[in-house]
Amino acid sequence: MSGPNTSYDPVEVAALAPAAVEEAVDAALAAIAAASSLEELKAVRPAHQGDKSPLALANREIGALPPSAKAEAGKRVGQARGRVAQALTARQGELEAERDERILREETLDVTQRAARRPLGRRHPIELMSERIADLFVGMGWEIAEGPEVEAEWFNFDALNFDADHPARQMQDTFYLEPADAGLVLRTHTSPVQARSLIERGVPLYVAAIGRVFRTDELDATHMPAFHQVEGIAVDEGLTMAHLKGTLDRLATSLFGEGITTRLRPSYFPFTEPSAEMDLRCFVCRGEDPDCRTCKGTGWIEWGGCGMVNRNVLTASGGAPDRYTGFAFGMGIDRALMFRTGVSDMRDMIEGDVRFDAQFGMEI
């Protein structure tokens, strides 16, 4: 660039010609208008407003003009640059507003919208009741044992003094496993744990066992082919029916509350002698309604079997029947849940509907 030159005609400086300036402005405005994002607009800036943009270059030429021409050229270029700057600012503002609007829209949060709820599973009431029963016996110093659901016929029947032709062995009660000569059954009661505990632990002995048992019953409102029992066996010196009754009353009170009335009724089991059924006072009519459908007017509901451990069982399992006596019991847990909840159809218990579990799961 040369210094001031008085003979210099501004019209001859191409970059400063009004048409060139106008053209530069038009190009800038078109590019600015065409920028559809802030990034694009940023790219437009250097080309039309930067040091090497046509208008900046034109501006530089002004210094070389004769003083008489400077004013006019300066005004023209200055206005042109002003228009470009203004257009940039305006477009910048528009694009920022658009961006803010888009972010607000995309990140909208409806704090009043209902949160998606995933229903929680619940523990099954049978399981909770089983735990409560186990806790009760542990609290009394008993041990908890388990036995297999697929049981040796010997433990399920022979060790418990069942004759070879006892009707409970027949196919109509017992699920036998194949092959037929394997001697395996699905246990029909938890009593085989009595024999197992006697053999494994010896006497004296205080053991409770909770578990599933199986019988070939049709599923209906009061029968299930698979149900639950709590078995107890205590063998020690000097145990009597009074200890049995006291233990079962304690169990009944813990499950059904103070004031529950129980009774023992003579019965028969091959593995206890004497044997009894334990009944609970009907929780619906309390023995006052001869037409009660729950107890069928008897005033009592059967809960399970019990008795003094038969000498033969003690002998078969290595106990010393002359020194020790024992009592045993097997109570229905599903029945207990029916009493507690007033559920009259056992099938509700096994349908796996979480609403049942939620309603009848016991407090812990």
Residues of span 29-88 touching ligand PHE by CB under 6 A: none
Q: Which one of residues 137, 269, 300, 356 is an interface residue with ligand PHE (CB under 6 A)?
A: 269
Query: Around Cβ 209, how many Cβ atoms within 10 Å?
Result: 24
Q: Is 103 helix (H, G, I), strand (E, B) or coil?
A: helix
Q: Which is nearer to ligand PHE, 54 or 305 (CB)?
A: 305
Q: Is 137 helix (H, G, I), strand (E, B) or coil?
A: helix
Q: Which one of residues 330, 334, 337, 356 is an interface residue with ligand PHE (CB under 6 A)?
A: 330
Q: Which is nearer to ligand PHE, 8 or 154 (CB)?
A: 154
Q: Is 94 helix (H, G, I), strand (E, B) or coil?
A: helix
| Cα distances (Å, whole numbers) of residue 162 to 148, 179, 270, 273, 295 | 19, 22, 6, 13, 30
- Minimum separation from the CB atom of position 352 to ligand PHE (A): 25
- Please identify, among the stretches 3-11, 63-71, 125-133, 305-313, the one whose residues bind ligand PHE according to the rule CB under 6 A: 305-313
Q: Check residue 305 for interaction with ligand PHE (CB under 6 A).
A: yes
Bridge-based pairing state of the strands 272-281 and 262-269: antiparallel
- Minimum separation from the CB atom of position 305 to ligand PHE (A): 3
Residue pair 135/364 in contact by the 8 Å Cβ criterion: no
Q: Which is nearer to ligand PHE, 48 or 189 (CB)?
A: 189
Q: Which one of residues 308, 313, 328, 337 is an interface residue with ligand PHE (CB under 6 A)?
A: 328
Tokens 């940023």 sit on residue: 42
Q: Check residue 326 for interaction with ligand PHE (CB under 6 A).
A: no
- Minimum separation from the CB atom of position 266 to ligand PHE (A): 12
Q: How many residues bind ligand PHE (CB under 6 A)?
A: 12
Q: Is 83 helix (H, G, I), strand (E, B) or coil?
A: helix
Tokens 């304690």 sit on residue: 250
- Minimum separation from the CB atom of position 165 to ligand PHE (A): 19
Residues of span 119-158 touching ligand PHE by CB under 6 A: none
Q: Which is nearer to ligand PHE, 191 or 325 (CB)?
A: 191
Q: Check residue 306 for interaction with ligand PHE (CB under 6 A).
A: yes
- Minimum separation from the CB atom of position 246 to ligand PHE (A): 16
- Minimum separation from the CB atom of position 291 to ligand PHE (A): 28
- Minimum separation from the CB atom of position 347 to ligand PHE (A): 21
- Please identify, among the stretches 84-92, 252-260, 304-312, 343-351, the one whose residues bind ligand PHE according to the rule CB under 6 A: 304-312
Q: What share of the chain is helix, strand, coil (3-state, %, to 5)?
A: 45, 20, 35
CB within 8 A of 48, min separation 6: which ones?
A: 24, 27, 28, 31, 32, 54, 55, 84, 88
Q: Check residue 161 for interaction with ligand PHE (CB under 6 A).
A: no
- Minimum separation from the CB atom of position 230 to ligand PHE (A): 10
Q: Which one of residues 329, 339, 356, 360 is an interface residue with ligand PHE (CB under 6 A)?
A: 329
Residue pair 45/56 in contact by the 8 Å Cβ criterion: no
Residue 196 tokens read as 């197992």
CB within 8 A of 63, min separation 6: which ones?
A: 1, 4
Buried b (16+ CB within 10 A) or exposed e, 220-241: eeeebeebbbbbbbbbeeebee
Q: Check residue 191 for interaction with ligand PHE (CB under 6 A).
A: yes
Sheet holding 143-145, edge to edge: 143-145, 205-214, 226-236, 325-332, 300-309, 272-281, 262-269
- Minimum separation from the CB atom of position 340 to ligand PHE (A): 20
Q: Which one of residues 272, 310, 317, 325 is an interface residue with ligand PHE (CB under 6 A)?
A: 272
Q: Which residues of this chain interact with ligand PHE, rule CB under 6 A?
A: 189, 191, 269, 272, 275, 304-307, 328-330
